């Protein structure tokens, strides 16, 4: 593919795993100058052989710069912030002195309060993005795409319009919403409904939908989350009826039927999970708002115990 990067902004991906690798790779494939920052084996593989994007639509090696040093973000006009939520504060403090004036940071992470965390840790005014994708990294330098691959950002302003235009130019759907908080909670609903079950049951999403007992747990998780959202006065689009949310969780699982959740992938690799930003977050918010969340609390606790045994 012949590309011209002259009229693109320089883009840096901080935390080039499945999410950062896929979306950064799509931008690079479209012609953007992208530097991906990840672990040393990732950087070595990509610099030697390019990034292999094995997607539902194409399989292609994309030439892209890679580094294992955060210094590589210097001069970037757009930063895709894709680290695990457990690393938010430390990474934000590390990159803050390196950011170019006017650089746009986009949080492309699970959870609903990452932008608040980056602001509190380092004064970074990040855009929140809701990421819908099923993907994993089978080996360093390869991203395997299993479903979807679209974004929601917001609210509408010149910065979000610029980011949306960048992704749309790379043929990555990117919708702007003026209720980004509700959109983040929509994604949180899917994550809380499915991630821990996938992790603890060693189950792909499709296996969850095939189990009536697992679907009962999904329903309990979603019902608790919506009760917390109501108490917190969060408006989640189309979720006034809990049945819609439960059906939506099943539909997401069917769409990504062959994929393990990111929480399951973390446990499989012996890594810390983001459960504190998912079911653990709902349990904490429920306690603050006097809303019982026993099923979310139980699954968060079990995932934490599984982490401790790694």
Q: Which fold has domain 181-308?
A: 1.10.1040
Beta bridge partners of 34: 11
**DSSP label at residue 83:** S
Domain boundaries, the chain: 11-178, 181-308
Low-confidence ranges of the chain (pLDDT < 50): 1-3
Write down the pLDDT at residue 309: 81
pLDDT the model gives residue 6: 65
Measured CA to CA, the distance from residue 285 to residue 60 in angstroms comes to 43
User: What local confidence, expressed as pLDDT, does residue 18 receive?
Assistant: 94
- Give the distance from CA 149 to its chain's centroid: 11
Encoded tokens for 24: 């950064």
DSSP state of 92: H
Per-residue model confidence (pLDDT) at position 104:
98
CATH architecture of 11-178: 3-Layer(aba) Sandwich (3.40)
Half-sphere exposure for 229 (CA within 13 Å, toward CB):
27
C-beta of residue 128 within 8 angstroms of C-beta of residue 43: no
Same topology between domain 11-178 and domain 181-308: no
- On whether the CB atoms of residues 46 and 67 are closer than 8 A, the answer is no
Residues paired with residue 129 on neighbouring β-strands, in sequence order: 153
The whole-angstrom separation of Cα 288 and Cα 282 is 10
């Amino acid at each position: 593919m012949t590309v011209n990067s002259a009229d693109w902004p320089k883009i840096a991906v901080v935390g080039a795993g499945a999410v950062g690798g896929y979306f950064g790779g799509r931008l690079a494939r479209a012609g953007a100058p992208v530097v991906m920052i990840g672990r040393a084996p990732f950087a070595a593989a990509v610099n030697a052989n390019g990034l292999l994007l094995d997607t539902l639509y194409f399989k292609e090696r994309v030439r892209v710069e890679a580094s294992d040093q955060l210094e590589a973000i210097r001069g970037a006009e757009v930063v895709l912030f894709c680290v695990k939520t457990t690393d938010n504060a430390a990474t934000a403090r590390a990159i803050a002195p390196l950011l170019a004036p006017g650089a746009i940071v986009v949080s492309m992470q699970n959870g609903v309060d990452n932008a608040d965390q980056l602001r509190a840790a380092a004064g970074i005014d990040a855009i929140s993005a809701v990421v819908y994708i099923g993907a994993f990294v089978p080996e360093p330098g390869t991203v395997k795409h299993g479903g979807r691959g679209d974004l929601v950002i917001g609210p509408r302003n010149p910065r979000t319009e610029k980011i949306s235009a960048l992704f749309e130019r790379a043929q990555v759907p990117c919708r702007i919403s003026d209720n980004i908080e509700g959109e983040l909670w929509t994604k949180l609903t899917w994550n809380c409904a499915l991630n821990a079950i996938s992790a603890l049951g060693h189950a792909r999403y499709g296996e969850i939908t095939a189990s009536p007992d697992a679907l009962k747990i999904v329903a309990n998780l979603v019902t608790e989350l919506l009760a917390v959202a109501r108490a917190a006065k969060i408006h989640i689009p189309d979720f006034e009826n809990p049945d819609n949310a439960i059906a939506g969780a099943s539909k997401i699982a069917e769409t990504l039927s062959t994929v393990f959740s990111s929480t399951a992938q973390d446990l499989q690799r012996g890594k810390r999970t983001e459960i504190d930003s998912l079911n653990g977050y709902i349990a904490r918010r429920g306690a603050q708002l006097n809303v019982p969340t026993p099923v979310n609390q139980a699954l968060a606790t079990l995932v934490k115990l599984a982490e401790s045994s790694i």
